[in-house]
Amino acid sequence: MQRIVDVAVSTPDRIGGTGEGPHGGLLLAGVFEEEPPAADAFPAAIADVLRSLGERPGWKGREGQWVEGDTGREDLPRVALRGMGKRDQLHVRKLAKWLGDVANLAALHGVARLVLALPEHALTRGPGAVARIARQLALSRYRFDEFQEKSGEEEETLAAVLLLMPDASAAAGELAAGLEVARATVTTRDLANTPPNVATPEWMAERAEAIAAAHGLEVEVLNQEDLERLGMGGLIAVGQGSRNPPRLVRLVWRGAASPKVALVGKGVTFDTGGISIKPAADMDEMKWDKCGACTVLGLAQAVARLKLPLELSIYTPLAENMPGGASYRPGDIIKMHNGKTVEVLNTDAEGRIILGDAMAWAAEQRPDHLLEYSTLTGACVVALGQTGAGVYTPSDELAQALLGAAEDAGERLWRMPLWPEFKESLKGRHGDIRNVAGRWGGANTAAAFLSHFVGDVASWAHMDIAGPAYIGGEGEGLRGATGYGIALTIEWLRALVGGATRS
């Protein structure tokens, strides 16, 4: 079960004859269409082979084109060029796919160690580039095969990549950050991909305790009695139809007294829709309705391992939404932790209900910033597709900071509206608020619902990650959880505490 490819950084002039070569591996250089390979920085023998390959008949550097040659050297026997297409058409998603394709091709051809040189471009040398590229390479061979029978034969696969950069020493810090994000992403993917017969609320709480123990975080797990004592009526209601009772986990990292940041992640370990049951088609994908909780647990790990100087509190409300004799019903009125009452019109709008309790509890601690992550609505996927997430926040400053962090991290994020009409549409008939508000603008009214539970916290944001959090049956790529949101949040947190990569 391979989880991560080892990535290191070096300069091109140290390749060949210095002990930093791949010892039987492959040097691969990316080349833009109609441009020569960037060979000048390499030792003469390597540079000559690169130039010779670039002059071969038919070589244009078109996207996906490949040409390979021998060097006659024992330490670096093969050199290859791979086309990246037109320079002005490269974007962050295309580069990520290119890196993944290169890693897969190297593994397919039995290359254990790859030396990779990328041409100069804003996406290969700009803010956050090293962290982003290192993360994408490190994750390129990820597979979730925990529940598959092993053949006993070890698969030949890519184990290490040496990334060539003009200033390797300056890139070291970014490399380390990128690899920690990759490790946290693996944690998040593994948790999210675990099937619902295993990943119950109790199991998730145990995993959270293990992360806390391994990385020096404080941990508190609220059980049914604790939830009742604290008036967490929303989380209790959603979880009461399941034989697996709900939990609410809080982890705390005390790297500094300030800033104080709270992150909340939706953890519906399986979502049938409850009494308002979902259609059977693709219901298996509802094991990924816990992706928000898995994301913030991964973030707790990354922040602790990076030792970021801030106080970080992580909240994961965990419940299984099942139909049964004890299930909450359409028409029920629930009293939430902050005292508001919620009139239930649809039990499949359960995520916002469990988040309301957790966000209200988090807001009581008076954090400087409160961010929430959830696979909340199909409406957001209709609006933005599976490529990016929607972010809702009343703070222009926080919006710009998160959008900038997402750009540097290579994750798509788009600001969505929090107009007052959405909040007004949720006024209850017999309770304070309703949990749904009709057909139109469902992602927006869901965000408006959450705004009732942020207390006095002015700098708060809701991220609807329903589209990019996992790749389902119709998505492109490896089916499963993606770990979306970890990279952009670490970029934002590092900027917040003065370790920004953005210029």
pLDDT digits (tens, 9 = 90+) for 432-457: 999 999 889 999 999 999 999 999 99
Give CA 492 to chain center in angstroms.
13
Q: pLDDT per residue over 14-52, tens digit each?
A: 875 433 444 458 999 999 999 999 999 998 888 999 999
What per-residue confidence (pLDDT) applies to 337?
A: 98
β pairing state of 412-415 and 388-392: parallel
Same domain, 345 and 438: yes
What per-residue confidence (pLDDT) applies to 432?
A: 98
Position 152 confidence tier, pLDDT thresholds 50, 70, 90 = low
Q: Which of 136, 167, 198 is the last residue of a domain?
A: 167
Position 156 confidence tier, pLDDT thresholds 50, 70, 90 = low
What per-residue confidence (pLDDT) applies to 21?
A: 41
Residue range(s) defining the domain that contains residue 58 = 6-167
Q: Is residue 294 part of a domain?
A: yes
Give CA 240 to chain center in angstroms.
30
Same domain, 218 and 361: yes
Same domain, 268 and 376: yes
Choose the weakest-confidence range: 21-30, 198-207, 387-396, 435-444.
21-30
CATH code, domain carrying 93: 3.40.220.10
Same domain, 357 and 252: yes
Beta bridge partners of 261: 312, 369
Q: Is residue 172 part of a domain?
A: no
What per-residue confidence (pLDDT) applies to 450?
A: 98
Same domain, 138 and 281: no
Same domain, 127 and 234: no
Mean pLDDT of 353-369: 98
What per-residue confidence (pLDDT) applies to 77?
A: 80
Same domain, 145 and 53: yes
Q: Is residue 28 part of a domain?
A: yes
What per-residue confidence (pLDDT) applies to 22?
A: 42
User: Is residue 157 pLDDT above 80, yes or no?
Assistant: no
User: Is residue 75 pLDDT above 80, yes or no?
Assistant: no
CATH code, domain carrying 364: 3.40.630.10
Whether a cis peptide bond, with omega within 30° of 0, leads into 166 is no
Closest CA to 470 of 262, 193, 200: 193
Same domain, 437 and 479: yes
Same domain, 154 and 190: no
Same domain, 278 and 365: yes
* Count of structural domains, the chain: 2
What per-residue confidence (pLDDT) applies to 20?
A: 43
User: Is residue 500 pLDDT above 60, yes or no?
Assistant: no
Q: Is residue 160 part of a domain?
A: yes
Mean pLDDT of 492-498: 96
What per-residue confidence (pLDDT) applies to 23?
A: 43
Mean pLDDT of 261-266: 98
What per-residue confidence (pLDDT) applies to 185?
A: 98
Same domain, 187 and 52: no
Instruction: Give the pair of three-digit tokens for residue 97.
Output: 């796919």
State the CB neighbour count (10 A cutoff) for residue 473. 9
Which of the two residues, 481 and 150, has the higher pLDDT score? 481
What per-residue confidence (pLDDT) applies to 501?
A: 45
SS3 of 331-370: the string is CCEEECCCCCEEECCCCCCCHHHHHHHHHHHHHHCCCCEE
What per-residue confidence (pLDDT) applies to 153?
A: 58
Q: Is residue 477 part of a domain?
A: yes
What per-residue confidence (pLDDT) applies to 154?
A: 56
β pairing state of 113-117 and 78-83: unpaired
Q: Can you tell me whether residue 480 is helix, strand or coil?
A: strand
Q: Which of 117, 140, 167 is the last residue of a domain?
A: 167
What per-residue confidence (pLDDT) applies to 16?
A: 57
Average predicted confidence (pLDDT) for the chain: 93
Q: Could you list the active site residues? A: 278, 352
